[in-house]
Chains A and B, each alone.
Chain A
Amino acid sequence: MDVILFTVFNGLLYGMLLFLLSSGLTLIFGMMGVLNFAHASFFMLGAYFAYQISKYIGFIPALFIAPLIIAFCGAMVEKYALRRVHKFGHVAELLFTFGLFYIIEEIVQMIWGKVPVAYHVPEFLDFTLFSMSGMGYQAYAIFALLVSIAIFVALFSVLTKTRVGLIIQAALTHPEIVSSLGHNVPRVFMLVFGLGCALAGLAGVLAGNTLGTEPSMALSLGPIVFVVIVVGGLGSLKGALVASILIGILQTTAISLDVSINSFIETIGFTVNIESLWHIFIDLTLSQVAPILPYLLLVIMLILRPRGLFGNRDV
């Protein structure tokens, strides 16, 4: 029981981080149809900005300032580049952000170097908050979890309860009508793009010090975020939440389980003697295959339910 609780909790921690990252992407994709390949790059920029800011004025200001700067950067990218590419279609937008991904990675290397920077957990949160079955939980991890949950609640209530959210949701499905009602749709798009990037940046601020702040962090998380939004259903915020937590728990569980097909066969009382190539498959432990599980989930999802968990159109 303890083990289950432990892995579920860890999965929740990781899953909420994934949600923070993918919620921005889902929002942008759902509204504008723009698949932002550089989304994880904004996540990385968030971590680097937070490192730089917290070096001078501390972590708490960084938590607010860094996402704001990222939001500004994102809005500028939308205004001056994506809007121009928009007329060539969504694939061109994706291509542009793919180029942007390279540019941001290189600029980060240019400014901060190729090795990880020393972005640490702030001291006032660097203590063990409570212990569960012998494992201590750092206060910072709980803090990050609480922030993510707060963001989720805020995002959901803004989108469903307020007037701004109403306009955003309407622009999602009927941009022409919203614009003929007198709303400036391009400006709404710019703000949404900025907001999405800011969410990614916030995730970077929160996760950069535990995952490591280095130039390769964008590439290591970017593809998983894509898996999250396909599995959750394109454009569905609820789907992104469920898929993030699902993948978070899936990965942390797999990493902590040292079982293989072979060990399973042995526990039910058989032994296999295969001297063939198949041995490498049944000897693989679950923790070894953990990195491919999200992608496996993606493939299974595509075969069984192409619209994702909560999506309303097929991929």
Chain B
Amino acid sequence: MINIFKSFSTWIIIAIIAAALPMLFDSSFALTLLCKMGVLIIFTVAYNMLLGQGGMLSFGHAIYFGLAGYASIHILNGIGEETLPYFPTVLFPLIGAIVGLFFGSIIGYISTRRAGTAFAMISLGFCEMVTAMTLIFVIFFNGEDGIQTDRMVGPEPFGITFGPQIEVYYLILFWCIVTVALMYIITKTPFGKMSNAVRDNPERAAFIGYSVRRIRWQAFALSSMFAGAAGSLHALNYEQIGFEAVGVAQSGAVLFMAFIGGAGHFLGPVIGAIGLTYLDSTLADMTEAWLLYLGLTFSGIVMFAPGGLAGLIVMHGPIARTDNKLLIGLIKPYSLAIGSILLGLIGLIGIIEMLYFRSLISKGEGELIIFWTQFNANGILSWLLFLVLILIGIKSSKKTFAMAKESWDHAISVVKTEVSK
């Protein structure tokens, strides 16, 4: 009972903090960013019902997100032109959820026979099919231009028109908390546990009498439903939607967020969605090579930390619970390791930026600014500097990472002896 109350109060605290955020950051840039984060948190957590909880890697989850968005915009337009009866704007994510559930049930039924790589391939095929359809059925999707709407339709209960962005933010926040809480509850139900079982060992799950395919299908449909709710909010937020919202790029973006954040943990995708959305909005203006960094980060995480950021944090849970002193002891080796990898990264970033600068921007002569310092992209000195940085970084990383790992191993072994006592 206390546990339920404890987790409930955490949710309330998070909700209050999130509700206060627009007062702390009141620029319109911050508000747009917060809205985008809210939508993508729903989408990413929904996606992780498949990837993390169900063990299904999908390259086409934007289908349900995007189609729900298209449907919402058409219905909004219908209400605006009074060809459709009024439907409260607050409840629009329900429409999106129904659309997502509908398409998710159909496509899920066909594609969930197997998980793993075959499933991933098929999901990509469906994604391409829907993307191609947006360009064919012009009357519904309006091709590459996409469709627009005006979210201010119908009566205005309590004077809420959803004209100002701040009202949309609170709408998104409300639905974000509701859907994420619902998805959290689902992970605790027998169905959620079975979904995990099917992910970890389908043969055994089948052996104790469950239909593996049926559970995958249900997980797929539920995940699509929540993705649909997110798509509906996306449409309300931007008042327009285009073919890119159903495409591979959007599906890839949600995969990046879920995996970098950490697919194995429920809150990992939330971290990923917040972090990557923030970086996407700020770094994309600063550097041409943003997608390259994203790809490198992703591949690096796959290779060295498959649990994602959340996995790295959770690794230290038992240590923190046993003795805080152990955790403090880790700070020194960790900061050494982080410092040496940063050195290498600075070098790598410098080289990449100069390459980009030479091939895309200047085509020859020029000075460019990296890390608030001016460098000559043609001077041998700046290339040498960055190359040396990379070499030092690699060399010292090898040593410091081994040290960091050793101290973690040591801390964990202490924890183990504590526990066995």
Contact = CB atoms under 8 A, between A and B. Distances in A.
Interface of A: 29, 33, 35, 81, 84-85, 88, 90-92, 94-96, 98-103, 105-107, 109-114, 219, 223, 226-227, 229-230, 234, 277, 280, 284, 288-289, 291-292, 295-296, 298-299, 302-303, 306, 314-315
A284 B136 contact: yes
A177 B308 CA distance: 36
Interface string B337-353: 00000000000000010
A206 B299 CA distance: 30
Contacts of B128: 223, 295
Contacts of B126: 295, 299
Interface in B289-307: 289, 291-292, 294-296, 298-299, 302-303, 306
A103 B296 contact: yes
B6 to A, nearest CB: 34
Looking at chain B, what size class is its interface with the partner chain? 35 or more
B282 interface: no
B129 A85 contact: no
B303 A81 contact: yes
A110 B306 contact: no
A311 B34 CA distance: 49
11 contacts: A81-B299, A94-B57, A95-B57, A96-B302, A100-B299, A223-B128, A223-B248, A292-B133, A295-B132, A302-B111, A315-B118
A107 B137 contact: no
Contacts of A107: 292
A110 B360 contact: yes
B71 to A, nearest CB: 14
A95 B302 contact: yes
Contact of A103 (B117, B132, B295): B295
Contacts of B295: 99-103, 106
Contacts of A298: 122, 125, 129
B118 A234 contact: yes
B116 interface: yes
A92 B116 CA distance: 10
Interface string B108-144: 0011011011101110111111001101110100000
B259 interface: yes
A314 B111 CA distance: 12
Given A81-B303, A295-B128, A114 B360 contact: yes
B62 to A, nearest CB: 14
Nearest to A291: B132
B154 interface: no
Nearest first, the 4 closest Cβ-Cβ pairs linking A and B are A102-B295, A99-B299, A295-B129, A106-B292
B117 A33 contact: yes
A102 B303 contact: no
Given A280-B139, A291-B135, A302 B122 contact: yes
Nearest to B352: A110
B355 interface: yes
Interface in B174-210: none
Contacts of B136: 284, 288-289, 291-292
Contacts of B120: 35, 91, 94
B122 A106 contact: no
Given A110-B352, A296-B129, A302-B111, A90 B299 contact: no
Contact of A102 (B57, B127, B291, B352): B291
B125 A103 contact: no
B124 A315 contact: no
B292 A103 contact: yes
A102 B355 contact: no
Contacts of A219: 248
Contacts of B113: 302, 306, 314-315
B129 A292 contact: yes
Given A98-B255, A103-B295, A106-B291, A226 B124 contact: yes
Contacts, number: 128
B138 to A, nearest CB: 8
A303 B255 CA distance: 27
Contacts of A280: 137, 139
Nearest to A107: B292
Contacts of A94: 57, 117, 120
Nearest to B355: A110
Contacts of B139: 277, 280
B252 interface: yes
A306 B116 CA distance: 15
Given A35-B117, A110-B289, 20 more contacts: A35-B121, A94-B117, A96-B303, A99-B296, A99-B299, A101-B295, A102-B295, A103-B299, A219-B248, A223-B128, A226-B121, A226-B125, A230-B125, A292-B132, A295-B129, A295-B132, A298-B122, A299-B110, A302-B111, A315-B113
B51 to A, nearest CB: 9
Contacts of A223: 124-125, 127-128, 248
Interface string B282-326: 000000010110111011001100100000000000000000000
A100 B291 CA distance: 11
Interface in B250-302: 252, 255, 259, 289, 291-292, 294-296, 298-299, 302
A109 B290 CA distance: 12
B356 interface: yes
B7 interface: no
A101 B248 CA distance: 12
B359 interface: yes
B257 to A, nearest CB: 13
A296 B253 CA distance: 25
A314 B352 contact: no
A85 B110 contact: no
B117 A113 contact: no
Contacts of B252: 98, 102
A214 to B, nearest CB: 15
Interface in B54-99: 55, 57, 59
Contacts of B59: 98
Given A113-B360, A230-B125, A102 B294 contact: yes
A110 B292 contact: yes
A92 B125 CA distance: 20
